[in-house]
Amino acid sequence: MSRNPSRIGTLVSWVLVLLCALAIFLMSATPADLSQMESGTIARWLTPLLHPGFETLDPLAQEGLLQQVDHVVRKLAHATEFAMLGFLLANALQRTRRPGQHARHRPRRLSQVMTATFLCALYAVSDEVHQLFVPGRAGMATDVLIDTAGALMGILLLHAVLALARKGRPRPSG
């Protein structure tokens, strides 16, 4: 049995999508108190860097600022994990061909972007529903929007990278 590098690459692409989705699922399964402890650690490290003179603020003002930074850290985490999922999913879709389909007959870029965005949005909805069953967590429509926007950024990043790669390739003469 001969091994086709293109098939192996496609398989690896889909495995990476599944691993990313699993990582998102596991992070969403973390109870709220542990999740807040993790993001709070980042916020406590980041806040003094972002706000010079943080140490001179009264404790109540420090706490309020920490909560604001923690909120941003949590939302950026949502966008980032879904940007990775979107990037990987768009890559897997890009590499996947139906049997007998030649590379030049792959679906158009807009169709791939829409498909990947829809699938990521669907996963974002399922992720928020999942969080309804995790102690202290809540499913939020705004998080679905943040997740989907992050996924779209990852998808568009992939297509920008692919366009730059195509632009840099020498064209065959003929």
Residues 86/151, Cβ–Cβ less than 8 Å: yes
Rg value, the chain, Cα: 21
Evaluated on CA atoms 7, 162, 94, 87, the torsion sign reads positive
Q: What DSSP line would sit under 57-105, residue for residue?
A: S-HHHHHHHHHHHHHHHHHHHHHHHHHHHHHHHHHHHHH---TT--GGG
Percent of the chain with pLDDT over 90: 65
Rounded-to-5 percentages of helix, strand, coil across the chain: 80, 0, 20
Least confident of 133-142, 145-154, 163-172: 163-172
**What are the residue ranges spanned by the domains of the chain?**
5-32+80-98+105-168
Q: Which residues are CB-neighbours of 84 under 8 A, at least 6 positions away?
A: 20, 154
Tokens at 90, concatenated = 């768009």
Q: What is the mean pLDDT of residues 85-101?
A: 85
CA angle 120, 124, 130 (to 5 degrees): 140
Q: What is the mean pLDDT of residues 122-145?
A: 95
pLDDT band at 1 (very low <50, low <70, confident <90, very high): very low
Residues 167/121, Cβ–Cβ less than 8 Å: no
